[in-house]
Amino acid sequence: MSETQPLIEILPEHWIIVRDILRKHIPHYPVWAFGSRARGTAKPFSDLDLAILTDQSLSLEVSAALTEDFSESDLPYKVDLVDWATTDDSFRQIIERDKVVVQMGELDQFIQSDAGKGWV
C-alpha cells in the first residue's frame, strides 16, 4: 500500500489506522475505496466502503479479524467491507465507477485471475 494517503475523504490519522489494519490482515490483496468518501461527498460520520479484490472468498477468520479490528479501532465511523469474489456484477460496476485505490496488493496476479478478467 502506498505510504501517501489516497484521495478519499478521511483524516490523515484515520488513514494510518486503515492502512495498518489492511497491512496486518490482507497485505497481498488490492483494496479499493468507493462510495461517498471516494466521491468526495461524505458527511463527517459517513461510513468508509472498502472492496477487497479477491478471486476466492476471504476466509471467515480473516473477514472476522478485519471486522473486529475496524470496529475496535479509534475510527469515528463504520468501515463496510465488500469481498469482490462474492459480489455480483451489478454491484461491481457501482464499485468500479467510484473506486479509489487504497492498497495495491498483488494487483497483477488479480488481473490475471478469473475474477480480474478485463481489468486492463
Res 4: pLDDT: 74
Task: For CA atoms 94, 99, 102, 107, give the dihedral sign.
Answer: positive
Q: What is the pLDDT of residue 1?
A: 42
Query: pLDDT tens, 26-78?
Result: 999 999 999 999 999 999 889 999 999 998 999 999 999 999 999 999 999 99
Mean pLDDT, the chain, as a whole number?
A: 89
For residue 113, give every residue at least 6 positions away whose Cβ sits within 8 Å of its Cβ, in sequence order, or none: 55
88 is catalytic: no
Q: How many residues does the chain have?
A: 120
Closest CA to 18 of 81, 58, 68, 70: 70
| Active site annotation includes 49 | yes
Spatial contact of 49 and 80, defined as CB atoms under 8 Å apart = yes
Instruction: Using alpha carbons, select from 45, 81, 43 the residue that is nearest to residue 60.
Output: 81
Catalytic residue among 20, 47, 80, 108: 47
Marked catalytic residue, from 20, 49, 89, 98: 49
Out of 3.30.460.10, 3.50.50.60, 3.40.50.970, 1.10.3720.10, select the CATH number for domain 12-112.
Answer: 3.30.460.10
pTM of the predicted protein model: 0.84
